[in-house]
């Protein structure tokens, strides 16, 4: 294990090109241009019906659908769907279409696409009048910046995004009280950001949360006039019983369950931005049992629209972020939000039945956020997890050899893995270095899971 040489990122380009081409099917949605269960084409998205929510303090009319900039289109030779090789022409087309159809909130960050997202979004938005859009970016807490570093980052963000001010600025990824105290209170970074708000270079100041109860309570208790918060909300986490993983328990003193966190945020009165409404895409691909429950209620509605309608209907939600890689994603989402019809009480009951059928302790709680990437040894961590979860959802994970469908499931699992993950990037190349563990906001034991999935796949190949 220790003798493995670190694979250069550029050395992976040729090997991963085919894998990324196949990944379109993984990250995309099938038949977005057609009504589910029919042969009728969908109508074009409306240009003037986007639901908007008004920020109670500033009066900003923010589109309920927000454009997340963590999963922008990448060039064919890119080594990862979240790498720096962004397809600027495709991104510009998405941004133009979004603005023309009522989407006006764009959310980027220092680390997205290996630092390139801010630059490309800045170029794309620079072509439009400043009053047409709201731009959000974030101070990278995970870099443990001191005051001088924070000042340099902020100045460079303004330059990269080609703006004179940010409409919304966040303290990124708050995970622990001690980290918040060290970076933002003791080093004076928060005072600096508050000063920028006073000077008009930040219009709204908030934070994104990935931490425990203690951290949330502490941040809310401070004498700071926060303007908003960004939190992870989806119907899986809110309607299904929250069970923290063992890895999460080891790293977080008191994991904050989704329902507790949401209730706490509602009591605070802060306007909410929502991330991961699709749970990293998992709610776009339900298993057969869950999907059947939803289709019986409404054969014409897709799984994605159910997820968005639930979160978009929650009180105090200002915008719902979606990382839209393809034009079909954007068009389908606009149809849902223009205008949004919140879920009724009856439909929420249907969702509760569906999520009970979908939820499984076997699924790996990866949201494909990509914070763990790039792996120094070339392992495509998010796609390996994504493949395993998809196979679980589609009942294509082989169980006992005496099962009648064992051979069929074994072949399906290995074929899907080969299509999505080139051999040079599979779990067998994990050295257990642990670099990824401290970066994962879902607290997954990534080296342990890589060892388990690598052995599982190898055993299936041997039995063939």
- Residue pair 364/442 in contact (Cβ under 8 Å)? The answer is no
- Give pLDDT, residue 442: 77
* 342 plus 437 within the same structural domain: no
- Give pLDDT, residue 315: 95
CATH of the domain at 236: 3.20.20.100
* 74 plus 191 within the same structural domain: yes
Candidate from 14-18, 129-133, 160-164, 433-437 with smallest mean pLDDT: 14-18
Residues of the chain with pLDDT > 90, as a percent, come to 70
How far is it, in rounded angstroms, from Cα 166 to Cα 228? 14
Sign of the CA dihedral 139, 143, 144, 150?
negative
217-234 mean pLDDT = 97
* 276 plus 396 within the same structural domain: no
- Give pLDDT, residue 142: 93
Write out pLDDT tens, residues 186-222.
999 999 999 999 999 999 999 999 899 999 999 999 9
56-78 mean pLDDT = 96
- Give pLDDT, residue 244: 58
The answer for residues whose C-beta is within 8 angstroms of residue 415's C-beta and 6 or more apart is none
- Give pLDDT, residue 1: 38
- Residue pair 277/321 in contact (Cβ under 8 Å)? The answer is yes
Place of tokens 């919140």: 342
How far is it, in rounded angstroms, from Cα 333 to Cα 455? 39
* 329 plus 455 within the same structural domain: no
Write out pLDDT tens, residues 81-93.
889 999 999 999 9
- Residue pair 279/286 in contact (Cβ under 8 Å)? The answer is no
- Give pLDDT, residue 39: 55
Report the chain's mean pLDDT, rounded to a whole number. Answer: 88
Among 358, 378, 407, residue at a domain's last position: 358
How far is it, in rounded angstroms, from Cα 407 to Cα 413? 10
13-39 mean pLDDT = 39
Secondary structure, 3-state, the chain: CCCCCCCCCHHHHHHHHHHHHHHHHHHCCCCCCECCCCCCECCCCCCCCCCEEECCCCCCEEECEEEECCCCCECCCCCCCCCCCECHHHHHHHHHHHHHCCCCEEECCCCHHHHCHHHHHHHHHHCCCHHHCEEEEEEEHHHCCCHHHHHHHHHHHHHHHCCCCEEEEEEEEECCHHHHHHHHHHCCHHHHHHHHHHCCCEEEEEEEECCEHHHHHHHHHCCCCCCEEEEECCHHHHHCCCCCCHHHHHHCCCECCHHHHHHHHHHHCCCEEEECCCCCCHHHCCCHHHHHHHHHHCCCCCHHHHHHHHHHCCCCEEEEEEECCCHHHHHHHHHHHCCCCCCCHHHHHHHHHHHHHHCCCCCCCCCCCCCCCCCCCCCCHHHHHHHHHHHHHCCCCCCCCCCCCHHHHHHHHHHHHHHHCCHHHCHHHCCCCCCCHHHCCCCCCHHHHHHHHHHHHHHHHHHC
Q: Which domain holds residue 340?
A: 31-358
Residues of the chain with pLDDT > 70, as a percent, come to 88
Candidate from 199-208, 209-218, 276-285, 424-433 with smallest mean pLDDT: 276-285
* pLDDT of 20 above 70: no
Measure CA 268 to chain center: 24
* 345 plus 220 within the same structural domain: yes
* pLDDT of 233 above 90: yes
307-321 mean pLDDT = 98
* pLDDT of 13 above 50: no
- Give pLDDT, residue 334: 98
168-183 mean pLDDT = 96
- Give pLDDT, residue 186: 98
The answer for residues whose C-beta is within 8 angstroms of residue 388's C-beta and 6 or more apart is 364, 397, 453
* 353 plus 408 within the same structural domain: no
Candidate from 350-354, 392-396, 449-453 with smallest mean pLDDT: 392-396
* 416 plus 344 within the same structural domain: no
How far is it, in rounded angstroms, from Cα 69 to Cα 314? 23
385-391 mean pLDDT = 88
- Give pLDDT, residue 31: 36
394 or 459, higher pLDDT: 459
How far is it, in rounded angstroms, from Cα 189 to Cα 372? 25
Strand partners for 420: none
Write out pLDDT tens, residues 248-260.
566 666 779 999 9
Tally the domains of the chain: 2
Whole-number Cα distances in Å, 439 to 79, 95, 372: 19, 29, 6
Write out pLDDT tens, residues 96-112.
999 999 999 999 999 99
* 182 plus 265 within the same structural domain: yes
Write out pLDDT tens, residues 404-419.
888 898 999 999 999 9
How far is it, in rounded angstroms, from Cα 200 to Cα 167? 9
- Residue pair 294/286 in contact (Cβ under 8 Å)? The answer is yes
* 260 plus 341 within the same structural domain: yes
- Give pLDDT, residue 252: 65
- Angle between helices 327-337 and 303-312 in degrees, nearest 10: 50
* 354 plus 278 within the same structural domain: yes
Among 323, 358, 393, residue at a domain's last position: 358
Q: Of the candidates 31, 95, 107, 17, which has an alpha carbon nearest to the alpha carbon of residue 62?
A: 107
354-374 mean pLDDT = 82
- Give pLDDT, residue 2: 39
* 215 plus 227 within the same structural domain: yes
Among 358, 393, 424, residue at a domain's last position: 358
* 109 plus 222 within the same structural domain: yes
Q: Of the candidates 26, 23, 101, which has an alpha carbon nearest to the alpha carbon of residue 422?
A: 23
- Give pLDDT, residue 173: 92
* pLDDT of 279 above 70: yes
- Give pLDDT, residue 395: 79
């Amino acid at each position: 294990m220790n003798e493995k040489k670190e694979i250069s990122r550029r050395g992976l380009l040729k090997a991963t090109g085919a894998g990324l081409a196949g990944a379109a099917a993984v990250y995309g949605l099938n038949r977005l241009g057609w009504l589910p269960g029919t042969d009728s084409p969908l109508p074009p998205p409306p240009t003037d019906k986007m639901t908007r929510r008004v920020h109670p303090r500033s009066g900003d009319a923010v589109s309920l659908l927000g454009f997340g900039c963590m999963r922008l289109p990448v060039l064919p030779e890119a080594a990862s769907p979240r790498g720096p090789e962004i397809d600027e022409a495709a991104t510009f087309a998405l941004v133009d279409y979004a603005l023309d159809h009522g989407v006006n909130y764009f959310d980027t960050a220092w680390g997205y696409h290996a630092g390139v997202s801010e630059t490309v979004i800045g170029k794309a938005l620079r072509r439009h009048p400043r009053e047409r859009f709201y731009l959000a970016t974030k101070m990278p807490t995970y870099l443990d910046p001191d005051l001088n570093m924070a000042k340099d980052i902020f100045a460079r963000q303004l330059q990269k995004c080609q703006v004179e001010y940010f409409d919304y600025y966040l303290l990124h990824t708050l995970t622990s009280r001690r980290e918040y105290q060290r970076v933002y209170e003791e080093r004076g970074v928060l005072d600096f950001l508050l000063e920028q708000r006073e000077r008009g270079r930040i219009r709204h100041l908030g934070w994104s949360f990935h931490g425990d109860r203690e951290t949330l309570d502490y941040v809310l208790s401070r004498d700071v006039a926060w303007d908003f918060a960004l939190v992870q909300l989806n119907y899986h986490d809110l309607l299904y019983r929250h069970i923290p993983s063992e890895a999460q328990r080891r790293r977080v003193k008191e994991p904050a369950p989704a329902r507790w966190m949401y209730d706490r945020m509602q009591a605070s009165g802060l306007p909410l931005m929502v991330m991961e409404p699709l749970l990293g895409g998992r709610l776009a691909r339900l298993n057969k049992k869950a999907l059947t429950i939803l289709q019986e209620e409404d054969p014409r509605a897709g799984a994605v629209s159910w997820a968005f309608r639930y979160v978009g209907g929650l009180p105090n939600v200002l915008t719902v972020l979606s990382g839209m890689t393809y034009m079909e994603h954007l068009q389908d989402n606009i149809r849902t939000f223009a205008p949004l019809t919140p879920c009724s009480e009856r439909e929420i009951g249907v969702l509760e039945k569906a999520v009970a059928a979908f939820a499984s302790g076997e699924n790996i709680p990866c949201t494909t956020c990509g914070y763990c990437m790039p792996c120094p040894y070339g392992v495509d961590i998010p796609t390996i997890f994504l493949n395993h979860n998809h196979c679980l959802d589609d009942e294509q994970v082989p169980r006992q050899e005496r099962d009648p469908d064992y051979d069929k499931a074994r072949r399906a699992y290995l074929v899907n893995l080969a299509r999505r993950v080139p051999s040079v990037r599979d779990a067998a190349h994990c050295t257990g270095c642990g670099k990824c563990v401290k970066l994962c906001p879902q607290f997954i034991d990534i080296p342990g899971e890589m060892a388990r999935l690598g052995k599982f796949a190898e055993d299936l190949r041997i039995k063939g």
